[in-house]
Amino acid sequence: MFTGLNSIRFTSIALVLGAGLTAGVATAADLVVGFQQEPTSLDPTADATASIDGMLTQNVYESLTIVAENGEVHPNLAKSWDISEDGLTYTFHLAEGVMFHDGSAFNADDVLYSFNRAMAEDSVNPSKGIFKSIESVAAPDANTIEIKLKGKDAFFLFNMGQGDSAIVAEETAATNNATPVGTGPFKFDSWTRGDRLTLVKNPDHREAATVALDKVTFRFISDPAAATAAMMAEELDAFPGFPAPELLPQFEADPRFRVNIGSTEGEVILAMNNAKPPFDNVEVRRAIATAIDRDEIIDGAMYGQAVPIGSFYPPHGTAYMDLTGAYPHDTAKAKAVFDSAGIAGTTVTMRVPPFPYAMRSAEIIQAQLTEAGLDAKVENVEWGFWIDEVYKKKNYDMTIIAHTSPNDMGNFARGPKYFYGYDDAEFSALWESIKTEADPVKRDALLKQGQQYLTDQSVHGFLFQLPLLGVFRNEVEGYWSSSPVLYMPLKGVSKG
Amino acid sequence: MGYFLFRRTVGFLLTLLAVSVVVFAVMNVLPGDPALTILGLDATDDALAALREQLGLNDPLLTRYFSWIWNALQGDFGTSHSFRVPVATLIGERLPMTISLAISGMVLTLIVALTLGIGAAARHRSFGDWGVMFLSQLGIAIPAFWLSILLVLLFAVKLRWLPPGGFSGWSDPVAAMRSLILPTVALALVQSAVLTRVTRSSALEIMRQDFVRTARASGLSHRRVLWRHVLPNALVPIVTIVGMQFAALVTGTIVIENVFYLPGLGRLIFQSISNRDLPTVQALVMLFAAIVVTANFIVDLLYVVIDPRLKVRR
């Protein structure tokens, strides 16, 4: 947008005229990070807002395990664990000498309390489902936790590394929504709702020696143009989840910045209401997959910055198989199917939530479906409406949504009550075997079967993996480039 | 005057009551589920049920409405569903931002509009007059958010004189004022363009009146005639518009706060509506309604001050 020469000239004028006016630049150990979504609460065990995990999980709060960038599960508050022969009993050996930020000691009682709270009848844990496989939790001694499962759960250790399973102290659980207290490498410092959240380094953390940052300030900037301006004006050091792919080229062209295009766990799908004609007909669903052109959608909606998917599994996962060629784009073929199914000219409505990736994709898909002979309509709805009408009441034909949770192929086994309206005993049985398979190699083989199955059934239009777009000042290093979870640990991040 | 005040107070309360019924009804008719919004798409049915119970969403509609009114009358506006803190606290945190912005926008609007409007009227049909008319036309045509982006690109990104956004409170007054400059300009632009035109035409009308000619004939200077005789008499239509504009400024902050990421009430109401945070929306809409009604009330009082003849008529 601005030529280099001009910026230099203006910078020097600014140095002369505005030196006294410019706000103090943060020192090397202070990081200022932009976030599009503002948290409403600061307790990840009671609110699903993604930015709570993005800012606090594994920074302020810690869990028994932690998931690494490549999806592997590593020790965290549990320094090690043993699994019984039958795969049903997990014995966690807790890290010793750990303190909560309020100075109280961490021990097995806190783990016990956290699990009982999440599993209680009146629990409002947003992922209560991940605790459903637990039969009992016990603390044989102060540094040991023994968890018995009802049945094998291949994702158990992974799930124990989520924000939903953060370990909190009983004394502070009720006030964590505004003043979070955890055991993590960063302590909560302050929160000005609507403006910023500040964390400071926890010098007492067991890995404090490896933490480079002294202070991290998160600024909440929802508007993409404002986010761009704030980066350009060097008010921010990093914007790890940048909202607008169309604005990235100006950062790529600017030597001050580094742009990262990574992957998230978000599969973007053109969801079809499988319980509702004509989408209950697998031939129609396959024809819809044939009618849509993923490349055109990615170019138009994501400015080329996304990886296409042919099923419901992230391309960075170990079990990924490329099924994008299963239904090659062929408008004439799709049209013929719609004709023979007697639905040519039928009105199908996409009820689209207010996310740029969804709204832009919808317009392109509308044109593609219209070309194939359907009367496709787009209805942009607000998020509260979407959650109620589409998700809860299943009152929709098609919609576009990203499923951002990890290991979420089980969505297709949630039965007719779930908004997919997809009820398939064969897939449910397959998911059950995936979920209970402890051997990673065998599990990956089953996951491949699952991908293949969902593609064959063409349950939805599988579009692309939501990218993780990040803009960083050159000095900022150590940020994850992709995330298999909703959090992004600051432990390894440094500046300058 | 006593009867006038009584009538206005009753009107004020009735307006607020009507607003509360409308907001409550609309928010309940709108599709949406606060519990599902908070717990997200992976939530289990029992967790949702537990949260609904916690938030008191299971009570009948009328029970909820009347308990809300009852508590509000005692100064308790309830607890925000999404933030889980008292609504009064939330509003208290954000009010200084929005009020500062609305007031600075109003002051800038008045300074610009009165100076340019009276000035243009005094030099009727001169180049200066045409220039003011052209600029005000332009000001009305430019969308505030677009101007905001341009201002940020020039003054924050290119020149680095001012911050691109944010507001960290009045504890550091210099920083606070610097943060307010660009949003104030963006907010005041349209309003001052409108008001300049009103001021100019109102002043022109007064200048044609006999008493102005008499004042001139009695040897008063041009400037004195303008500010002592023309302006006070031109004020009635100006004050009417200013009253309406104050309401527009308060609501205009919603857009401006978003572009400049300011932690004010506008952003809060936007967020609360999409989160279906009924207690917060309810209280904020009531607050905005109260501000508008109060602004109109002050305008009515000002009429009497400006034009004592009106007092007799009432």
pLDDT for position B1: 63
**Contact of A17 with B158, CB cutoff 8 Å:** no
Amino acid identity of residue A403, one-letter, is H
Give chain B positions within 8 Å (CB) of A13. Answer: 159
Q: In whole angstroms, what is the distance from residue B66 CA to residue B153 CA?
A: 49
CB contact under 8 A, A387 and B33: yes
Average pLDDT over residues A1-6: 37
| Chain A nearest C-alpha distance from B281 (Å) | 14
Question: A178–B85: do the CB atoms touch at under 8 Å?
Answer: yes
Query: What's the average model confidence in pLDDT over A392-419?
Result: 94
Please give the biggest Cα pair distance in chain A: 74
Work out whether strand A347-352 and strand A375-380 pair parallel, antiparallel, or are unpaired. parallel
Q: Is A462 helix (H, G, I), strand (E, B) or coil?
A: strand
Rounded distance between C-alpha atoms, residue B184 and residue A419, angstroms: 46
Interface test with B, best of A15, A124, A217, A218 (most B CBs within 10 A): A124
- Per-residue pLDDT averaged across B29-50, rounded? 89
- Summarize the confidence of residues A139-151 as an average pLDDT: 96
Token output for B19: 């607003």
B164, A230: Cβ pair inside 8 Å? yes
Q: What percent of chain A has pLDDT over 70?
A: 94
**What's the pTM value of the predicted model, to 2 decimals?**
0.89
Considering CB atoms only, which of B160, B261, B273 is closest to A22?
A: B160
Through-space distance between the first and last CA atoms of chain B, rounded to whole angstroms: 8
How many CB atoms neighbour CB A85 within 10 A? 6
Least trusted range by pLDDT, from A88-97, A212-221, A415-424, B7-16: B7-16
What's the pLDDT score for residue A353?
Answer: 95
Lowest mean pLDDT among A26-35, B178-187, B194-203: A26-35
* pLDDT higher at B4 or B281: B281
B167/A223 Cβ within 8 A: no
DSSP summary character for residue A27: P
Question: What average pLDDT does this structure show over A250-277?
Answer: 95
Q: CA A237 to CA A448: how far, in whole Å?
A: 40
Torsion of CA A437, A438, A439, A442, to 10 degrees: 10
Contact: B268, A194; criterion CB under 8 Å:
yes
User: For residue B20, what are its two tokens?
Assistant: 């509360």
Top residue of A128, A219, A254 to mutate, by most chain B CBs within 10 Å, is A128
Task: Determine if the peptide bond prior to A308 is cis (ω within 30°).
Answer: no
Count of A-B CB contacts under 8 Å: 177
Set of chain A residues whose Cβ sits within 8 Å of the Cβ of B93: 192-194
Closest residue, chain A, to B51 (C-alpha)? A124
CA pair distance A484, A51, nearest whole angstrom: 15
d(CA A372, CA A339): 10
Residue type, A182: G
Which backbone phi and psi does B54 adopt, to 5 degrees? Answer: -60, -40
pLDDT at B117 over 50: yes
B42/A17 CB distance under 8 A: no
Residue B264: CB atoms within 10 Å: 29
Q: Would you mind telling me the total number of residues written for chain B in this entry?
A: 314
pLDDT score for A26: 55
Q: At A119, give phi and psi (nearest 5°).
A: -95, -10
Which chain B residue has the Cα nearest residue A37? Answer: B271
Identify all chain B residues contacting A128, using CB atoms and an 8 Å cutoff.
43-44, 46-47
Residue A453 C-alpha, separation from nearest chain B C-alpha, in angstroms: 23
**Two tokens at A389?**
């009408």
With b meaning 16 or more CB within 10 Å and e meaning fewer, what string describes B206-232? bbeeeebeebeeeeeeeeebbeebbbe
Strands A461-473 and A257-272: antiparallel
Of the pLDDT bands very low, low, confident and very high (cuts 50, 70, 90), residue A11 is very low
8 Å CB contact of B274 and A383: yes
CB contact under 8 A, B275 and A14: no
Interface contact flag, B271 A38, Cβ < 8 Å: yes
Name the band, by pLDDT with cuts 50, 70 and 90, for residue B312: low
Chain B residues touching A232 at Cβ < 8 A: 157, 164
Q: Which of A358-362, A414-418, B241-245 has the highest mean pLDDT?
A: A358-362
Q: What are phi and psi of A351, to 5 degrees?
A: -95, 110
Q: Where are the beta strands (DSSP E) in A162-237?
A: 186-192, 196-201, 215-220
Gyration radius of chain A's alpha carbons: 24
Give how far A357 is from chain B: nearest CA, Å.
18
Per CB-CB distance under 8 Å, the chain A contacts of B262 are 194-195
**B41–chain A nearest CA distance, Å:** 8
pLDDT of A6 over the 50 cut: no
Contact A391 B36 (CB under 8 A): yes
Strand partners, A400: A270
Which of B30, B148, B158 is the best residue to mutate to test the A interface, defined by the most A CB atoms within 10 Å of its own CB? B158
Considering only residues A40 and A397, tell me which one the structure prediction assigns the higher pLDDT: A397
Partner-chain contact A388 B33, CB within 8 Å = yes
Instruction: Inspect the interface and report whether the beta carbons of B37 and A383 lie closer than 8 Å.
Output: yes
* pLDDT for the residue numbered A27: 66
Which of left, alpha, beta for A107 (phi over 0: left; psi -120 to 50: alpha)?
beta
The answer to whether the beta carbons of residues A253 and A4 sit under 8 Å apart is no
A12: pLDDT confidence band, cut at 50, 70 and 90?
very low
Which stretch of A18-27, A87-96, A180-189 has the lowest confidence by average pLDDT? A18-27
Q: Is the pLDDT of residue A395 over 80?
A: yes
pLDDT score of A22: 40
Contact between chains at B164 and A235 (C-beta distance less than 8 A): yes
Other beta carbons within 10 angstroms of residue A375's beta carbon come to 14
| Whether the Cβ atoms of residue A123 and residue A45 lie closer than 8 Å to each other | no
**Does A384 contact B175 at a Cβ distance shorter than 8 Å?**
no
* Cβ atoms within 10 Å, residue B146: 12
CA B184 to chain centre: 12
Instruction: State the smallest CA–CA distance between residue A196 and chain B in angstroms.
Output: 9
Task: Check B36 against A232: CB less than 8 A apart.
Answer: no
| Confidence tier at B160 by pLDDT (50, 70, 90) | very high
- What residues are paired with A217 via a beta bridge? A32, A198
Burial class (CB in 10 A: 0-12, 13-18, 19+), A26: middle
Chain B neighbors of A123, CB-CB under 8 A: 46-47, 50
Nearest CB partner across the interface for B40, out of A121, A126, A226 = A126
Q: What confidence score (pLDDT) does residue A20 get?
A: 37
Token pair 């576009």: residue: A400
Among left, alpha and beta (phi > 0; psi -120 to 50; other), residue A282 is alpha
Is B271 close to A132, i.e. CB distance below 8 A? no
Given a cut of 90, is residue A13 above it in pLDDT? no
| B93/A222 CB distance under 8 A | no
CB contact (8 A) between residue B260 and residue A226: yes
Q: How far is CA B124 from CA A116, B112, B127, B208, B221, in A?
A: 79, 18, 9, 12, 17
Of A47, A129, A232, the CB nearest to B38: A47
Decide: A93 and A79 in contact? Cβ < 8 Å: yes
How confident is the model over A185-207, as pLDDT tens digits? Answer: 999 999 999 999 999 999 999 99
What is the pLDDT, as a whole number, of residue B313?
52
CB contact (8 A) between residue A388 and residue B31: yes
Distance CA B312, CA B302 (A): 14
| pLDDT at position A371 | 96
Q: What is the DSSP letter of A96?
A: S
Which candidate, A270, A249, A224, A302, places its Cα nearest to that of A467? A302
d(CA A110, CA B189): 57
Residue of A nearest to B164 (CA): A230
- Mutant choice from B84, B145, B150, B274 vs A, greatest count of A C-beta within 10 A: B84
Using a CB-CB cut-off of 8 Å, the residues of chain A touching B37 are 383-384, 387
Q: Is B221 helix (H, G, I), strand (E, B) or coil?
A: coil
* Closest among B206, B211, B198, B280 to B241, alpha carbons compared: B198
Give me A55's structure tokens.
């800012």
CB-nearest partner of B93 from A23, A193, A382: A193
Chain A residues whose beta carbon lies within 8 Å of the beta carbon of residue B50: 121-124
Nearest CA in chain A to B53: A122
In the prediction, which pLDDT does A5 show?
Answer: 36
CA-CA distance, A188 to A175, in Å (whole number)?
Answer: 13
In the structure encoding, which two tokens stand for residue A423, read together? 């009820």
Of A82-96, A272-286, B123-137, B298-312, minimum mean pLDDT range: B298-312
